[in-house]
């Protein structure tokens, strides 16, 4: 990571010339104001084709032990990036032939040539697809969200940062009865993370009982989660526990955006999902009074980091 690499990566993150149509960028689906999501149930690519999943928040992705909604094998930001850049079914950014045309196009831009040379000094051919990917990954690693009211309350001891209602919601979130923290734990509220000196944890995947199409816990054939990668029956419907940071801004919810609001998410959990045989035992029905529901929603809202979503460092 260097200042030059991050600045170049930021420019490339918003660069529409990195798409087959010349009108699409990473930021088309990962918008800063929405904590780097797109407000859609499922993401739409450069040519208008729907992908089958929702765009994920990029807040704190530097700490992820695994990437995307349901894959144990995508273990770096660099390898993840090949999907949106080169996928052709469905098209996301739609680059072909390893992005040769885009590299060519950017090579004609004098400021890019200077920026690549500064970011990759000592390199005979600084402007390459490999370096485009490395620079964008460097930018992504700066997307740290940790200034929400929750953070100020917990880490800065700012007693006023959270309302009394949100504090009661926090107690519910961490309680044995409601039990969200059993999966949404740690600094990112997504379970185990990687950080300096702590680099071996694996990501947490769970079936939350969102679907049971056959009475045996099957998910729809359009998306069966981790099962598609491992082909183990036990992985049917398992998705990676997503971050809850900035969650008030990242709807609609779940991997396919089928839950329109946080209220709908709480309906899903209080019902205990579909109570399917493949469901994680930590997702089970519980009672929530109207007052407690409002408290839990206030807590989720306290995870919104206004500094993060309005940070000029993350804007073009």
Site residues, ligand HEC (CB under 6 A): 24, 26, 28-30, 43, 45, 51, 53-56, 58, 61, 64, 67-69, 77, 80-81, 84-85, 92-93, 136, 140, 178-180, 182-184, 206, 208, 210, 239, 241-242, 244, 247, 250, 253-255, 262, 265, 269, 280, 282-283
Q: Which is nearer to ligand HEC, 154 or 260 (CB)?
A: 260
Residue 235 CA, chain-centre distance (Å), reads 20
Q: Which is nearer to ligand HEC, 244 or 298 (CB)?
A: 244
CA–CA–CA angle 194, 200, 202 (5° rounding)? 75
Q: Which is nearer to ligand HEC, 82 or 113 (CB)?
A: 82
- Measured from the CB of residue 242, what is the shortest distance to ligand HEC in angstroms? 4
- Measured from the CB of residue 122, what is the shortest distance to ligand HEC in angstroms? 25
* Residue 152, CA atoms < 13 Å, CB-side half-sphere: 15
The string of DSSP letters for 226-282 reads THHHH--GGGTTBEEPPP-TTGGGS-SBSTT--B-SHHHHHHHHHHTTT--TTS-TT
Contact 190, 241 (CB under 8 A): yes
- The CA distance from 190 to 249, in Å, is 17
- Measured from the CB of residue 282, what is the shortest distance to ligand HEC in angstroms? 4
Nearest to 58 by CA among 140, 150, 134: 140
- Measured from the CB of residue 205, what is the shortest distance to ligand HEC in angstroms? 7
Query: Which residues on neighbouring strands pair with residue 240, listed in sequence order?
Result: 205
- Measured from the CB of residue 102, what is the shortest distance to ligand HEC in angstroms? 11
Nearest to 129 by CA among 93, 170, 183: 93
Q: Which is nearer to ligand HEC, 17 or 53 (CB)?
A: 53
The string of DSSP letters for 272-312 reads TTT--TTS-TT-------HHHHHHHHHHHHTT--HHHHT-G
Q: Which is nearer to ligand HEC, 50 or 156 (CB)?
A: 50
Residue 199, burial from CB neighbour count under 10 angstroms (0-12, 13-18, 19+) = exposed
CB atoms within 10 A of CB 93: 25
- Measured from the CB of residue 157, what is the shortest distance to ligand HEC in angstroms? 25
- Measured from the CB of residue 181, what is the shortest distance to ligand HEC in angstroms? 8
Nearest to 238 by CA among 71, 77, 125, 89: 71
Q: Which is nearer to ligand HEC, 280 or 305 (CB)?
A: 280
- Measured from the CB of residue 168, what is the shortest distance to ligand HEC in angstroms? 14
Q: Which is nearer to ligand HEC, 106 or 244 (CB)?
A: 244
Q: Which is nearer to ligand HEC, 53 or 134 (CB)?
A: 53
Radius of gyration from C-alpha coordinates of the chain: 20
């Amino acid at each position: 990571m260097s200042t030059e690499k991050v600045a170049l990566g930021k420019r490339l993150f918003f660069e529409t010339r990195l798409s087959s149509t010349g009108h699409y960028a990473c930021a088309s689906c990962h918008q800063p104001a929405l904590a780097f999501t797109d407000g859609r149930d499922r993401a739409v690519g450069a040519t208008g084709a729907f992908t089958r999943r929702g765009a994920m928040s990029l807040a704190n992705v530097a700490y992820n032990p695994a990437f995307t909604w349901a894959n144990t094998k995508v273990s770096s930001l660099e390898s993840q990036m090949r999907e949106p850049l080169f996928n052709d079914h469905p098209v996301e950014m739609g680059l072909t032939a390893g992005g040769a045309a885009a590299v060519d196009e950017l090579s004609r831009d004098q400021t890019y040539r200077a920026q690549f040379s500064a970011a990759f000094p000592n390199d005979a051919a600084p402007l390459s697809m490999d370096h485009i990917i490395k620079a964008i990954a460097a930018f992504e690693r700066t997307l740290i969200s940790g200034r929400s009211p929750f953070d100020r309350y917990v880490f800065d001891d700012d007693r006023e940062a959270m309302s009394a209602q949100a504090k009661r919601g926090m107690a519910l979130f961490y309680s044995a009865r409601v039990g969200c923290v059993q999966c949404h734990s740690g600094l990112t509220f997504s379970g185990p993370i990687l950080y300096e000196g702590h680099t071996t944890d694996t990501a947490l995947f769970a079936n939350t009982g969102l679907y049971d199409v056959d009475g045996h816990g099957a998910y729809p054939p359009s998306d069966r989660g981790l099962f598609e990668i491992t082909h183990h029956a036990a992985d049917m419907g398992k998705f990676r526990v997503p971050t809850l940071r900035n969650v008030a801004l990242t709807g609609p919810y779940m991997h396919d955006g089928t839950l329109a609001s946080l209220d709908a998410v709480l309906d899903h959990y209080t019902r205990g999902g579909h109570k399917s045989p493949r469901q994680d035992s930590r997702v089970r029905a519980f009672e929530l009074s109207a007052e407690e529901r409002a408290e839990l929603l206030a807590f989720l809202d306290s995870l919104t980091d206004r500094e993060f979503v309005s940070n000029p460092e993350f804007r073009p």
